[in-house]
């Protein structure tokens, strides 16, 4: 199975007008290499990134803008110069060109993890509000007609548990996203 997957990744790359754009990972690898070097500059200019790859500075700037829209890099302006670094959810290790799809999937999984975490926090907060509302009305002895506060309390517990599961799921998505390129590299390229 490993050999078939390796062969597919290496040989079945479509060519033509819809050819995948490998320059994204090349650009990101320039930033990753700089972050791992001894000088370790956190931000690189568009020109410095263009020097490390085989495309022009204007094309590099356009690709960096697209990557910023996708949330894979962050931009900082220093006067008229754009400076770039990796986004927090982007992998910091240099990605082999054969593993670009794994790197993209990894980035998407970490993005989903962030959204799931926010949703989980909101659901947990809603559950806590329902539980506090039910408990405070029972303790205060202010029964409102038509409300079964025990049912509201039970629903609050249930909603809180669902929120907790969403938070756990976000952690799983984040871990899988973080280690997908590493596992793929160890299984496919070694």
pLDDT per position as a tens digit, 157-166: 999 999 999 9
Residues 73 and 102 in one domain: no
The total number of residues written for the chain in this structure? 190
Residues 21 and 57 in one domain: yes
The confidence score (pLDDT) of residue 90 equals: 78
pLDDT per position as a tens digit, 129-140: 999 988 888 777
Query: Is residue 52 domain-resident?
Result: yes
* Structural domain count of the chain: 2
Residues 74 and 115 in one domain: no
CA–centroid distance for 97 within its chain = 19
Strands (E) in the chain, as ranges, are: 44-45, 73-78, 81-86
Residues 67 and 114 in one domain: no
Query: Is residue 49 domain-resident?
Result: yes
Is residue 20 scored above 80 in pLDDT?
A: no
The confidence score (pLDDT) of residue 172 equals: 95
User: How far does the chain reach from its first CA to its final CA, in angstroms?
Assistant: 14
Residues 129 and 80 in one domain: no
**What residues make up the domain containing 151?**
97-188
Residues 57 and 79 in one domain: yes
Residues 177 and 114 in one domain: yes
pLDDT per position as a tens digit, 39-96: 767 888 888 888 878 777 778 888 888 888 888 889 988 888 888 888 887 777 777 7
pTM of the prediction?
0.61
Residues 77 and 111 in one domain: no
């Amino acid at each position: 199975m490993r050999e078939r997957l390796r062969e597919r990744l290496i040989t079945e790359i479509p060519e033509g007008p819809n050819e995948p754009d490998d320059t994204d990972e090349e650009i990101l690898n320039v930033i990753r290499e700089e972050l791992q070097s001894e000088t370790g500059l956190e931000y690189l200019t568009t020109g410095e990134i263009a020097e490390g790859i085989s495309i022009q500075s204007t094309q590099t700037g356009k690709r960096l803008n697209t990557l910023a829209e996708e949330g894979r890099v962050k931009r900082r302006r220093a006067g008229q110069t754009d400076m770039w670094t990796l986004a927090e959810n982007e992998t910091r290790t240099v990605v082999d060109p054969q593993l670009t799809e794994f790197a993209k999937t990894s980035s998407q999984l970490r993005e989903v993890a962030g959204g799931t975490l926010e949703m989980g926090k909101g659901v947990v907060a809603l559950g806590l509000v329902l539980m506090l509302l039910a408990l405070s009305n029972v303790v205060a002895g202010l029964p409102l007609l038509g409300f079964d506060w025990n049912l509201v309390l039970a629903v609050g517990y249930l909603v809180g548990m669902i929120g907790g599961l969403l938070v756990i799921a976000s952690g799983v998505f984040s871990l899988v996203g973080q280690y997908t390129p590493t596992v793929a590299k160890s299984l496919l390229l070694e």
